[in-house]
Amino acid sequence: MSASPVYLDAATAAPTHPVARQALLAALDDGWADPGKLYTQARRARQLLDAAREATALTLGVRADEVSFTPSGTTAAHGAVLGGLAGRRRVGSTLVHSAIEHSAVLHAAERHVGAGGTATEVPVDRLGRLDLTAWSTAVRAPGVALAALITASHEVGTVQPVAEAAAACADAGVPLYVDAAQSVGRVPLPAGWSVLTASAHKWGGPPGVGVLAVRKGTRWESPWPADERESGRTPGVVNLPAVVAAAASLRAAAADAAAEATRLAALVDRVRERVAAEVPDVEVVGDPVLRLPHLVTFSCLYVDGEALLHALDRRGFAVSSGSSCTSSTLRPSHVLEAMGVLSHGNVRVSLHRETTEADVERFLTELPGIVAGLRAEAGVVGL
């Protein structure tokens, strides 16, 4: 008998929220026309798009005209970084970013450096928290066009000191971009940013919808070929049914966020405690207190990360890993590397609205045996 599936990788993609499904189906019937045209069907599509934008803006605490929908969280991040740099190219060409940004931000930074710009990477501590002193020094340097900081680590869950980082940016007159993909729809957003991005499939919306919010007065210039849609911030027709579903599910997720955060944080606490107590030679990583409510990461000494993912999958558990053997580049996660924590045998567990206490219990019951089995196979018991 195969084990019933337990999906624990919400930080990659949360299961579709029922509200998203409903809205998507309705909008497929009602929102297929091009919202830019001048006939009845287009006006209906325009109404749906406007309503989605207003709802999203309300949840983010911004104005509707500050919000654009992009084809993914990745393209939103690319646009945020490259557009923020382009808008201030007269001031300078330095991007300051933390060492634990998402690869979308780091790849945009590489593009910028490849084009002759510079990037300053700011380190984090062992818990994955930004070094604020180094950050303040970095943003005060001459020629800084933009600073980028993830609101909370997608790999280890540590919440970043965004308010303090934003204050340092404000002092230096540098706009701050925050990648809020793991926070939007789950936890209150920090203040003080000029540009924000998010990704709908992290909150139960459909995959392939990103959000780019640019506050009024921010010097941001589209890095893409010209296109008038979405306030000129991101080219191409929007996937309107998906955008409608994203906005509807964001509203639903935000309405439940406080209660869900309390429920999931208790389950994450349980994972942190039980894994540390019941799996020998394990390092539970990330800040134990200042962290996301739904995400927990640990590394098992002497265990191959890929073998661990496969063994968990055979028992029905879907999780992620930052171990090098599980990545296409065969490099360990840059986040674990920046923190200086064990990178092999790494597992990231991330919970969502459908995760039950029983799911977590089953995971915790089975994990010690699975790890012990792999260690026995590898002949590393007692090392």
**Residues lying near other proteins in the complex (CB under 8 A):** 281, 283, 301-305, 323-325, 330-332, 336-337, 340-345, 378, 380, 383
What six digits make up the tokens of 331? Answer: 């490099």
Coil vs helix vs strand at 142: coil
Gap between the Cα atoms of 154 and 326, Å rounded:
16
Residue of 41, 72, 136, 327 that binds ligand PLP (CB under 6 A): 72
**Least distance (Å) between residue 266 CB and ligand PLP:** 23
Give the residue numbers annotated as catalytic, written as ranges.
Answer: 325
Residue of 20, 77, 96, 244 that binds ligand PLP (CB under 6 A): 77
Is residue 371 part of the contact set for ligand PLP (CB under 6 A)? Answer: no
Q: Compute how many residues bind ligand PLP; rule: CB under 6 A.
A: 14
- The interface partner of residue 154, options being other proteins, ligand PLP, none and the CB cut-off 5 to 8 Å by kind, is ligand PLP
Is residue 294 part of the contact set for ligand PLP (CB under 6 A)? Answer: no
Burial of residue 264 (CB within 10 Å: 0-12, 13-18, 19+) is: buried
What six digits make up the tokens of 171? Answer: 């002092």
Choices 175-183, 235-243, 321-329, 339-347 (CB under 6 A): range interacting with ligand PLP? 175-183
Gap between the Cα atoms of 61 and 66, Å rounded:
10
DSSP letter for each residue of 26-60: HHHHH--S-TTSSSHHHHHHHHHHHHHHHHHHHHH
**DSSP-assigned letter for residue 124:** B
- Residue 167 phi, psi (nearest 5): -65, -40
Residue of 56, 74, 158, 218 that binds ligand PLP (CB under 6 A): 74
Gap between the Cα atoms of 165 and 75, Å rounded:
24
The single residue listed with the structure tokens 């209660």 is 259
Q: Which is nearer to other proteins, 28 or 325 (CB)?
A: 325
Residue of 56, 182, 218, 324 that binds ligand PLP (CB under 6 A): 182
| Residue whose C-alpha is closest to residue 14's, from 267, 269, 249 | 249
Q: Which is nearer to ligand PLP, 102 or 353 (CB)?
A: 102
Is residue 230 part of the contact set for ligand PLP (CB under 6 A)? Answer: no
Residue of 17, 97, 102, 348 that binds ligand PLP (CB under 6 A): 102
Which chain residues interact with ligand PLP by CB under 6 A? 72-74, 77, 102, 104, 150, 154, 179, 181-182, 199, 201, 210
